């Protein structure tokens, strides 16, 4: 199915694919309230779910998915669900390499397609960037470079941010790197979005 004819529901909103949304929340419960139904509908449609979370929260993620009716062990066995810790995604080698992560995201989306799943729904918690590890300050550049890749795939990528933990300047930059934004549980086309080449040029002019 072509992206132009496919839409998914997140909260009260429908969005056309491909979708690269930043989702801002004030609590984990708020995040789960919106994205658990999004995950459940994907599972029921036979789509692939790929989650990246803090390893300390993997157990909770599995439990929450099971509570909304997803057969987590079976979905993990058949490849429909994969939950990765940050250390196996963003922070491989105890550092953030934006180019390695861009390659991983593209491989995940390709694998979903080659495995016969009609769509991949990727839900990534971004608090790994709050740590003091090499490369984490490249998060804004990484998010904008994703926009060179994601339009090639009919998938949904949601990057979640806790507004209590990220600074206002980072939040504003992150917002400008996502074509769609979720605020207050409502997804909308993002009027502040800046195309990747334009935003990368702006970043290159900033003092280091």
pLDDT string in tens for the chain (208-residue length): 343 458 899 999 998 899 999 999 999 999 999 999 999 999 999 999 999 999 999 999 999 999 999 999 999 999 999 999 999 999 999 999 999 999 999 999 999 999 999 999 999 999 999 999 999 999 999 999 999 999 999 999 999 999 999 999 999 999 999 999 999 999 999 999 999 999 999 999 998 7
Beta-carbon contacts of residue 123 (< 8 Å; ≥ 6 apart): 35, 38, 39, 49, 50, 51, 52, 158, 160
- Could you tell me the domains of the chain? 9-185 (3.40.50.300)
DSSP state of 111: H
Give the CA angle between residues 123, 182, 201 to the nearest 5°. 85
183: which 2 tokens?
A: 């605020």
End-to-end C-alpha distance for the chain, whole angstroms: 44
Say how many CA atoms lie within 13 Å of 73 toward its Cβ: 0
What span, in angstroms and rounded, lies between the C-alpha atoms of 190 and 172? 12
Q: Could you tell me if 108 and 120 are in contact, meaning their C-beta atoms sit under 8 angstroms apart?
A: yes
Neighbours of 39 (CB within 10 A): 22
122: which 2 tokens?
A: 């990727």
The whole-number pLDDT of residue 3 equals 39
């Amino acid at each position: 199915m072509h992206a132009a004819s496919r839409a998914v529901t997140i909260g009260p909103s429908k969005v056309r694919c491909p979708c690269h949304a930043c989702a801002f929340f004030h609590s984990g419960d708020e995040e789960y309230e919106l994205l658990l139904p999004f995950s459940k509908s994907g599972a029921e449609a036979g789509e692939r779910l790929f989650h990246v979370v803090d390893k300390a929260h993997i157990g909770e993620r599995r439990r929450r998915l099971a509570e909304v009716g997803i057969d987590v062990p079976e979905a993990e066995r058949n490849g429909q669900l994969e939950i990765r810790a940050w250390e196996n995604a963003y922070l491989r080698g105890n550092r953030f390499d934006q180019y390695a992560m861009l390659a991983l995201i593209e491989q995940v989306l390709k694998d979903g397609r080659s495995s016969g799943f009609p769509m991949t729904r990727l839900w990534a918690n971004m608090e790994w960037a709050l740590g003091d590890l090499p490369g984490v300050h490249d998060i804004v550049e990484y998010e904008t470079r994703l926009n060179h890749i994601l339009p090639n795939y009919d998938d949904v990528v949601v990057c979640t941010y806790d507004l209590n933990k990220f600074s206002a300047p980072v939040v504003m930059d992150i917002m400008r790197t996502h074509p769609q934004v979720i605020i207050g549980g409502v997804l909308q086309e993002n009027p502040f979005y800046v195309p990747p080449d334009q935003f990368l040029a702006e970043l290159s002019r900033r003092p280091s």
